[in-house]
Structure 1
């Protein structure tokens, strides 16, 4: 049995993201450089237009990010930006959807997600600040029926981003 993903996807078709849809994958104030690398790779896998990391200043060793991001490190558009720059992104035709367990959040699998979306998840320990949540048009959570009620940020963004993709390509 051949388990090479490059070979596999040469024969298996993936539906393209519709032209009127776009996703920016974003993370708030991350502490772990491995999570940053994983999110860069996720954004590249998904075909996102970019990955944004909102933080006052980049304080991570690039080598640790690159190790986890792999090939995607140089192939995917990504950057560290300030909160002010992030707010400007929201004024460029994208709706903010926050992935957060907060008042008013709804199950991601039963919520219609925006076509042009900035999908934002919060830091590993503090989540997303309330003033940023207040800017969102959509608050979603991932249901967790098991005993643990949290996911690693890169895993949570993966679930949410591919749910957005599923919704955009559903017939």
Structure 2
């Protein structure tokens, strides 16, 4: 029987007592609880790849690169499962294939890379110029947007809304890489990624090609939609933290803001670009319909 004055302690009681002691220790600046032995092991960085090549990974990224006639391919590494998911005919592949285990790709690409069982070694795409804009009526221009994840998302949105190019500076902008291509989810193969030396000069050249250059700025005097004019539009977006540089603000045709009635007054650059691209396409569609 259990004495009411001295009840028997159960394992559950001991567990909660341990938690209470740990809480008191933390409050007093004492020892923290022991680390969980099942804690995820530290991440390993990627190994350096062959010189003058890029390593592309992820199902959509590799599938798009394999289908791009402008991409010079060297070797495909894939697990059997990934090869089946890509639905590729091994006999018709445009480059040599090596079947591997997932741990091989982890060791080559680093444990943080979401490779989905596939990696492609290829040459970087050829450098593109403003002359490659062709008859594009809508482009994105980036003023030192440095995060490859953001630039990849921008490329994806640009393709989704039918933009003709993404223009950025050759310095303070990501070069072609596996991270950039994975974030773009295949879009890097579908749109010119134009890197220029001087952004102010490039904006002048873009304006001479008939583009209205609109800088997105939270302090812009007018809202974006009423600012649209003309047949060709270049949306100019600034870096993640500082926004547009002063020289860029002075060079664009107009500064405009995205009107946001909510408590948060700014968006991630890739989200802001998607909203602006949608608004520009709506304007162009209405103008053609009218």
2:167 to 27, 52, 66: 52
Is 1:137 aligned with 2:243?
no
Is 1:96 aligned with 2:209?
no
1:57 CA displacement: 5.5
1:127 CA displacement: 0.9
- Cα 1:123–1:114 change in 2 (3 A) is farther
Match of 2:57 in 1: none
2:145 to 30, 40, 49: 30
- Does structure 2 retain, via aligned residues, the 8 Å contact 1:57–1:80? no
RMSD (Å), alpha carbons: 2.1
Match of 1:71 in 2: 186
2:279 to 144, 163, 170: 163
- Cα 1:55–1:124 change in 2 (3 A) is farther
- Does structure 1 retain, via aligned residues, the 8 Å contact 2:138–2:232? yes
Match of 1:83 in 2: 198
Distance 2:171 2:230 in 1: 27
- Cα 1:121–1:114 change in 2 (3 A) is farther
- Cα 1:21–1:58 change in 2 (3 A) is closer
Distance 2:173 2:241 in 1: 18
- Does structure 1 retain, via aligned residues, the 8 Å contact 2:225–2:280? no
* 1:105-152: CA deviation from partner (whole Å, max 9, x where unpaired): 311133334421111010001111122111222211111111111100
1:101 CA displacement: 2.0
Question: Larger RCO: Structure 1 or Structure 2 (Cα < 8 Å, ≥ 6 residues apart)?
Answer: 1
1:115 to 209, 231, 238: 231
Query: Which is worse superposed, 150-159 or 75-84?
Result: 75-84
Distance 2:221 2:170 in 1: 24
Distance 2:242 2:168 in 1: 15
Q: How many residues align?
A: 151
* Corresponding residue SS for 1:127: coil
Stretches of structure 2 that go unaligned for 5 or more consecutive residues are 1-134
* 1:19-48: CA deviation from partner (whole Å, max 9, x where unpaired): x87011111101210011011111111111
Stretches of structure 1 that go unaligned for 5 or more consecutive residues are 1-19
- Cα 1:106–1:42 change in 2 (3 A) is same
TM-score by length of 2: 0.48
* Structure number with bigger Rg: 2
Question: Residues 146-157 of structure 1: matches in 2 within 5 Å?
Answer: 146-157=262-273
Distance 1:70 1:43 in 2: 12
TM-score by length of 1: 0.79
